[in-house]
């Protein structure tokens, strides 16, 4: 029986630390690396990041859009990137932010969460803003495959507030409602549930929210977006041990030199470890 994603994530975080490195081959980074903005550059970029870091980071988060923009050849590079990252010992969180209803949501889930899919990933980001229940096909397949989901709850982009801070008839806002759904999904799971939330590290004091969902909290915004590892305890409070801080440009801008990528990732990892409370 497949060990659930939450258990696998807990183990790798305890072993390697919680750092998640994004694989975001956008055009400006390819140029900074001296690579062409084409499939060859895409492949070189992705392979370099994976080979440099797969034995030391807990999670890679490839951003699907930067591969999809090259069509089928770009998706083929994404498939290879996922497979090589997982073979190297890191977990893969596919950042695709899929969200739909019924059979369409089920098809999105099958693309990334079905075990025999070429794009099978350990977890997938999803959008619940067609209603949390619309994610049911993805939740069911994730459970079956031992995979996980990260649901957009309190995102770091300023536009997110108009939806996530909207107050429902019961007096609870939408972001808090998503956290409550995830806490219910993770009830009784040990050592960690498989259904996580995306909560921006740039949001400041979140003490009015119950972040204890017994699942992981993906924290984008560390590095180039302005948050630092030292900010994490203030933002996440008692839930800090379950936070997966994501750094993308802060590490990637040091390529294409593999040693520089490793050094940058290690600096972030050290700063994150220093910010965490003693066990």
Please list the active-site residues.
Answer: 97
The β-bridge partners of 60 are 21, 92
Q: For residue 130, how many other CB atoms are within 10 A of its CB?
A: 12
Helix or strand run (H / E) with residue 23: strand 20-23
Q: At what angle do helices 136-145 and 102-113 cross, to 10 degrees?
A: 30
Residue 269 · residue 262 · CB < 8 Å: no
Angle at 114 between CA 111 and CA 116, to 5 degrees: 100
Residue 219 · residue 246 · CB < 8 Å: yes
Residue 63 main-chain phi, psi, to 5 deg: -90, 110
Helix or strand run (H / E) with residue 49: helix 39-53
**Cis ω on the peptide bond leading into residue 191 (within 30° of 0)?**
yes
């Amino acid at each position: 029986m497949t060990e659930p994603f939450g258990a696998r994530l807990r183990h790798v975080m305890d072993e390697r630390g919680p750092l998640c490195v994004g694989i975001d081959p956008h055009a400006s980074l390819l140029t900074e690396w001296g690579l062409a903005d084409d499939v060859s550059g895409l492949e070189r970029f992705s392979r370099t990041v994976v080979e440099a870091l797969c034995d030391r980071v807990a999670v890679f988060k490839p951003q699907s859009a930067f591969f999809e923009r090259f069509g089928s050849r770009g998706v083929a590079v994404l498939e290879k990137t996922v497979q090589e990252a997982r073979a190297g010992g890191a977990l893969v969180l596919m950042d695709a932010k899929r969200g739909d209803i019924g059979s369409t949501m089920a098809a999105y889930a099958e693309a990334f969460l079905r075990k025999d899919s070429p794009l099978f990933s350990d977890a997938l980001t999803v959008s619940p803003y067609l209603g949390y229940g619309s994610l049911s096909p993805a939740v069911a397949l994730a459970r079956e495959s031992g995979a996980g989901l990260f649901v957009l709850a309190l995102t770091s982009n300023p536009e997110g507030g108009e939806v996530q801070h909207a107050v429902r008839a019961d007096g609870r806002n939408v972001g808090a409602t998503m956290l409550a759904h995830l806490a219910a999904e993770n009830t009784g799971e040990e050592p960690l549930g498989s259904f996580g939330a995306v909560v921006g590290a740039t949001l400041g004091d979140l003490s009015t929210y119950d972040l204890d969902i017994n699942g992981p909290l993906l924290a984008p915004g560390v590095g180039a977006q302005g948050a630092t590892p030292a900010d994490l305890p203030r933002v996440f409070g008692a839930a800090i041990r379950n936070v997966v801080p994501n750094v993308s440009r802060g590490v990637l801008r040091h390529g294409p030199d593999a040693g520089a990528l490793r050094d940058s990732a290690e600096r972030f990892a050290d700063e994150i470890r220093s910010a965490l409370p003693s066990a």
